[in-house]
Chain A
Amino acid sequence: MQMQTDLLQEARRQAEICNACRYCEGYCSVFPALHAERAFGDGDLTQLANLCHNCRGCYYACQYTAPHEFDLNLPQALANVRQDSWEDLAFPRVAGKAFQKNGVLIAVAAVIGFALLFWAARMLGSQGGEGFYAVLSHNAMVAIFLPAFVFPLVSIGISLRRYWRRVEAGPFRVAQLVKAVRQAADMRNLKGGHGDGCNFEDEDRFSHARRMAHQAVMYGFLLCFAATSVATVMHYALNMPAPYGLLSAPKLLGLSGGVLLVLGCTEMIRLKLRSDRTLGARGAFGGEIAFVGLLGFVGLSGLVLYALGQTALMPLLLAVHLGAVLAFFLLMPFTKMAHGFYRLAALTVNAGK
């Protein structure tokens, strides 16, 4: 265990104050879980931190925030522990430490992704395919993207196992997972306990802006992912290789997903820029913005590719889009993207208590 003890100690100090106060009990699932404990081990704090989604309701409502000497800032204390747990539990750990907070490195990785795809297109070429496959053969694409897809899954699987042990969650039951997925699907906790949303972009004003942006990103991503999955099934199982027409399932899914993704990411960045950074994880702002930017860029480059796929720009656009997708997938366990998996794990652990 290499988590930073000063961050854990600060979260513990604040959790003990909250446990004596309890005024925020109704905001989210952090507080009922917190109030069920009397002493907070490192595992407990890691679990609480991953239950928190940084809505900030408990900061603006707290009578003990600075300049008060108790200096409460629970959203930040939990964000620091959460961020640290993602870095510490990552597989391989060095990658977590390298990328989570480093926007520049994320951008560099994306550029390397572009370069790799250019190189592949030039060196491997079409081998007689049509459409996109005229730029890079289907087999070459599979050879690049299959590992890029399997690696993050394995990595995240290992991290979640580590998480489960770290928080001492006990045996796993499917019913817990079902309950957790249901909560995540409607982002119940993002409603802020009273249904008015969270405090993010305008101090103590409650709004649904962040929840809606997050929904757009999440469903946009899932639709794009579905588009690729459907296309894979069509290619292999139905023997219907690309290119697909505008009204085909992959195009419809991909197009709507791409639009949602771009809108959601743009709005999310706008909200983040307006939010108070001292309520988020220390030093993580750049990494978060770069990650959302990369995700939005995946969507945008995909849409541009749709629009200009018939022009001479296509090979260039394809390499840029695929390069972004490649970087996104490979970095998945080491960027903010990991939060979705940890959060689901935390909700699952919580559902078992």
Chain B
Amino acid sequence: MTLSDTPDLVVIGGGNAALCAAITAAEAGARVLILEAAPKPYRGGNSRHTRNFRCMHHGPLGPLTDSYTEEEYLADLLKVTGGKTHEGLARLAIRSSEECLPWMEQHGVRFQPSLSGTLSLARTNAFFLGGGKGLVNAYYRTAERLGVRVAYEASVTHLELNDDRIDFIDYTQNGETHRVAPKSVVVASGGFQADTDWLARAWGPAAKNFLIRGTPYNRGVVLADLLDQGVEQVGDPTQCHAVAIDGRAPKFDGGIVTRLDCVPFSIVVNKNAERFYDEGEDVWPKRYAIWGRLVAAQPDQVGYVIIDAKSLNLFMPSVFPPIKADTLEELAEKMDLPAEALAKTVAEFNAACGDTSGFHPTELDGVATTGLTPPKTNWARPITEPPFYGYSLRTGVTFTYLGLKVDERAQCAIGNRPVSNLWAAGETMAGSILGQGYLAGFGMTIGTVFGRIAGKEAAAHANAN
């Protein structure tokens, strides 16, 4: 790279947060270079797997119905994070989300009505037409029109921090090492969940059996490099968002289609054919998020969902067809479960079921077992009607919480001073806002809001220096 085309500003990453930062900075007049580790077909990180973002609004806005106020939004957030929330930054994200929607439309994103099967989100979450990859494509078009340069398969390996300033960035592309020295740097390279060794260090060896729902490129290389050099950290490496997904899903990038919504209508057993938790505890999405951890705690980090014919059409279909058998014995054999133990578990469960006339698939119906441990407190119907169906379950990690600590200007810090030319946006700083738990659609909100803030601040710094 020659001196004349040295960019004013480098954005590390190629997902939602990176693109929002790059577009905002380019509109402020900065010459921007995006360094994206993935090849073009896989550009866009986890953002390419998303479907919506959560948006405050007063009155109907775009695809959103009714209103969703700051207080209600914050209350929803506090509920899922158990209070582990930085209220100032959370309010900033929530308040700014309203102006994001028209901004996104102006920059090419298109919305659609809430998807079939997700009516509960129609008021709070705006769905992207075509999903996250459609969004990412639109942003790349917009960015390129603004003169942003994009380097694919460009993995950043090191940021050189001297005092309170990043002096240069090293990255590799096509097996060669390159060095750039921009005036400002925005880090938007996501979490570290794709590095299963790191996950195993934090979680124990069980983590080797986890599946990663999103991109294989978020390996936390930049995060580790900056934390090693003393940049302020937030969050705890053992915290990650994990759900139970189909055990046949690919190791990486299985995305949304591997989720299983059938747990409430099932019994879930471990590899010894024993039940281990109340399958009827709660309605979606809460039940969804706890099962990742429950399965992670079972031997070999695997679970098995068993349902019968009457429940097959009560939940959204998933990508792989269920394993099907006419008898429980045959099902046990096909799923590699001990047949006798499974028969016993099912018989005990069936015997504990009572009156099922109040069964209601979409509400907590109170149709519960009696005298069983663990109990099933809702939707407890005996498993009797062949054919029987089974799915295997594994832990699917969505993202990690360990990240860079930023202030309300998205700026990183070292000791108690800001790093003068370093900003962070998206998942890599999301821990600054929520320490645990997750609210559907908030990841894209954080990326959009803080991406835009980081882009604006980083461009102002570059323009002034």
Contacts and interface: CB of A to CB of B under 8 A. Distances in A.
B130 A58 contact: yes
Given A62-B133, A205-B141, A17 B257 contact: yes
- Interface size class for chain B? 20 to 34
A61 B112 contact: no
B426 interface: no
A353 interface: no
Interface in A170-210: 193-194, 196, 204-205
A245 interface: no
Interface residues of A, number: 32
Contacts of A149: none
Which 7 residue pairs are nearest across A and B when measured between Cβ atoms?
A: A61-B130, A26-B112, A23-B131, A61-B134, A194-B110, A20-B257, A204-B137
A38 B48 CA distance: 26
Contacts of A32: 116
B141 A19 contact: no
A21 B256 contact: yes
Contacts of A23: 51, 115, 128, 130-132, 134, 256
12 contacts: A16-B317, A23-B132, A23-B134, A24-B129, A32-B116, A35-B117, A60-B130, A61-B129, A61-B137, A63-B49, A194-B112, A204-B141
Contacts of A122: none
A196 B141 contact: no
B256 A69 contact: no
Nearest to B140: A204
The DSSP consensus for interface residues of chain A is: loop
Contact of B317 (A19, A64, A194): A19
Contacts of B313: 38
A330 B42 CA distance: 47
Chain B CB within 10 Å, residue with most, of A19, A21, A23, A67: A23
Interface in B122-177: 127-134, 137, 141
A38 B117 CA distance: 13
A16 B319 contact: yes
A57 interface: yes
B255 A63 contact: yes
Given A16-B321, A27-B129, A61-B137, 15 more contacts: A19-B317, A20-B317, A23-B115, A25-B115, A26-B127, A58-B130, A60-B130, A62-B133, A63-B253, A63-B255, A68-B253, A70-B257, A204-B137, A204-B141, A205-B141
A63 B48 contact: yes
A64 B255 contact: yes
B130 A20 contact: no
Nearest to A196: B110
A23 B321 CA distance: 20
